Amino acid sequence: MVQSRTNYTVFRKFGKAVLFSGVNFKTMHTGLLHTHSLLRYFVLIMLVVVVVIALQKWLGKKPYSGLDNKLGLYLFIFTHLQLLIGLILYVVSPVVQFNAGTMKNAELRYWAVEHISLNIIAIVLITLARTTSKKMAEDSAKHKRMFLFNGLALLLIIVSLSMSGRGIIHQSLF
């Protein structure tokens, strides 16, 4: 709930009131939502690229190069930026509600529980792929780890997006 008072905005969430001076939550929410929606394409593209290259190099027994490391790093950066924006949206979004009817309503449950849970698991897998593969000595094991963990993360993200009912390519952007 958002209530305006003179030049202050009171934001109520989780039973607490937080006072923000001159913050327009509707504008902030809209900007964050568009950024979050656009950034998902960068995450998906990077994830597909990393998974395909890791599979090719793992099966082809190719060395783990600096490019592989940079692609993993960029994927790591994009996903954590997406997580940060998503967590802010989780707090300010009017769609995320916690009341008696949340778990009974499929749409409210999706945004309050399922979307965030699946995507945090995917981000944990992407993070583990990056951090654990860096410590491995064998190139084949690095490619295998990057393929398996990031492939599973890609699958979870696609499942999460398909559960939203909006599809992977959201129509309002076009």
Summarize pLDDT for 109-148 with one digit per residue, the tens.
Answer: 999 999 999 999 999 999 999 999 999 999 999 999 999 9
Alpha carbon separation from 109 to 36, 117, 161, 163 (Å, rounded):
19, 11, 14, 11
Domain count, the chain: 1
- Which has the closest alpha carbon to 151: 45, 77, 48, 82? 48
Alpha-carbon span 62 to 54, nearest angstrom: 9
Mean pLDDT taken over the chain: 85
Residue 10 included in any domain: no
pTM: 0.81
CATH, residue 74:
1.20.120
- Residues contacting 78, CB < 8 A, separation 6+: 39, 42, 43, 46
Residue 136 included in any domain: yes
The residues facing 77 across adjacent strands are none
Residue 4 included in any domain: no
Residue 16 included in any domain: no
| Residues of the domain holding 139 | 26-173
For the chain, residues with pLDDT lower than 70 are 1-25, 167-174
Residue 127 included in any domain: yes
Residue 40 included in any domain: yes
Residue 154 included in any domain: yes
Residue 6 included in any domain: no
Q: 3-class SS at 2?
A: strand
